[in-house]
Structure 1
Amino acid sequence: MRKNVSAIFLTAALLFAGTSFTNANEPSKGESPENGVITLDKSAFIQKVFDYENNQDWDYKGNKPAIVDFYADWCGPCRKLSPLLEEIQQEYNGKLQVYKVDTEKSRQLSAAFGIRSLPTIVFIPMDGEPRAVLGYVPKEQLTKMITDILKVSK
């Protein structure tokens, strides 16, 4: 049975909120997935990740596992996380895609997924449901989560 998408994000966020995780340079929207992090607005998110306006059940549109970083420019932990995600995008060399969503510019999109804490990092495997982590996550833990959740190795 498939779960409602907002319930998935909320449940995953609440589960990870109690774990040991603690609480930029922005590429252009036209960058190639293999070359860098892609910043998404609402329409690009609907096209590349999930059409939340027409679907209630999770249905990922991508062709490789992804990480979506919901951030804001004023957020200190977000600014600290940004270069780590850029490094990860390069190190995994096309095996996954890192996306960024500016919550200030995409308020409706952020609200649709119940984003209330920044940064919120969503791991999207090819099979299965997305998992969200709240707050800054050190690179070593990001790498472990990529292996464990996304099933991707360097």
Structure 2
Amino acid sequence: MKKLLLFFVPMFIMAYSLNAQSTAGEDSNYGKVIHIGKSDFLEKIYDYEKNPDKWVYNGKKAAIIDFYADWCGPCRMLSPTLKSLAEKYKDDIIIYKVNTDEERELAAAFGITSLPTLLFIPMDEMPQVAQGALPKKELEKAINDFLIK
């Protein structure tokens, strides 16, 4: 009996700690801007291939998606603001970035023709789009009035 306990107790502790680490990994990006591609977009946000006619948000928090390109000056100017907002609102929203040069199919699926384009996704409503590098105050107003009410 003692030998069984000596075997199972360490196994239980190891399994528990591995589970705690993997759960912490999910939350470790909160407060950061997360760069995603098509596969993550389909999994974490909206699978437009599976549901082309109906918006079904897969996220656990309201989100902002920044469709950008590295060569885009206004996109580069907006980036520090989004980092700041991701940290400030880490308990309420997630901010994602999609590089439209690398994810052309994803950009085309959402009709992205101007950069930056921001997609605001509340939990229980249809998303809304804003184009251009919005000032921080306007972004905070959209977050407070539309995303987290």
TM-score (norm 2): 0.79
Counterpart secondary structure, 1:127: coil
| RCO comparison, higher one (Cα < 8 Å, 6+) | 1
Deviation of 1:31 after TM superposition, in Å, equals: 8.5
Which residue, out of 51, 54, 59, partners 1:55?
51
| Mapping 1:4-153, distance limit 5 Å | 32-56=28-52, 57-152=54-149
Could you tell me whether the CA contact under 8 Å between 1:72 and 1:118 is conserved in 2? yes
Output the CA distance in 2 between the equivalents of 1:143 and 1:47. Answer: 27
Gaps of 5+ in 1: 1-29
Instruction: Count how many residue pairs are aligned between Structure 1 and Structure 2.
Output: 123
Structure whose alpha-carbon radius of gyration is higher: 2
Gaps of 5+ in 2: 1-25
**What is the Cα-based RMSD across aligned positions, in Å?**
1.4
Letter in 2 for 1:44: D
Counterpart secondary structure, 1:123: strand
Runs of 4+ aligned residues of structure 1 deviating over 3 Å after TM superposition are: none
Deviation of 1:41 after TM superposition, in Å, equals: 0.3
Can you list the C-alpha shifts for 1:38-95, whole angstroms capped at 9, x where unaligned?
1010001001100011112100000110000000000000000011000000011221
